């Protein structure tokens, strides 16, 4: 049996608020769309550090990391995140983070 079993795969919930276009202050050139994603990951212990590295490398902030249970197996951690940046940059960071979680891939 694989660990963790697929039924205990990590989950991720994200919400995003569009912030409009980003303008370069130097020349008022449109550089893309900005958004404010916030969300949660539910991760096993072995997934925490790789996901943290992926998010931080794309300037996505981890606002909390905690657990709710005392003796669960596998050990689960709840990670909350927030960012404010260009949509494509944040999407790359979230995509990279999701590569490190045990989830059903389509």
What does the mean pLDDT of the chain come to?
A: 75
Please report the pLDDT score of residue 65 as a whole number: 95
Give 77: exposed, middle or buried? Use CB within 10 Å, 0-12, 13-18, 19+.
Answer: middle
Q: Domains in the chain, ordered, with CATH?
A: 6-98 (3.30.70)
Cis, bond preceding 64 (omega within 30 deg of 0): no
Low-confidence stretches of the chain (pLDDT < 50) are: 1-10, 22-24, 27-30
**What dihedral angle (degrees, nearest 10) is formed by the CA atoms of 29, 31, 36, 37?**
170
């Amino acid at each position: 049996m694989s660990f963790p079993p697929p039924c205990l795969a990590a989950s991720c919930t994200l919400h995003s608020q569009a912030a409009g276009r980003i303008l370069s202050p130097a020349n008022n050139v449109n550089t893309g769309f900005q958004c404010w994603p916030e969300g949660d990951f539910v991760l096993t212990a072995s997934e925490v550090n790789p996901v943290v590295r992926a998010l931080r490398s794309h300037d996505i902030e981890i606002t909390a990391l905690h657990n709710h249970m005392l003796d669960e197996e596998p050990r689960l951690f709840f990670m909350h995140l927030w960012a404010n940046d260009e949509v494509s940059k944040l999407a790359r960071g979230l995509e990279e983070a999701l590569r490190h979680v045990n989830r059903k891939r389509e």
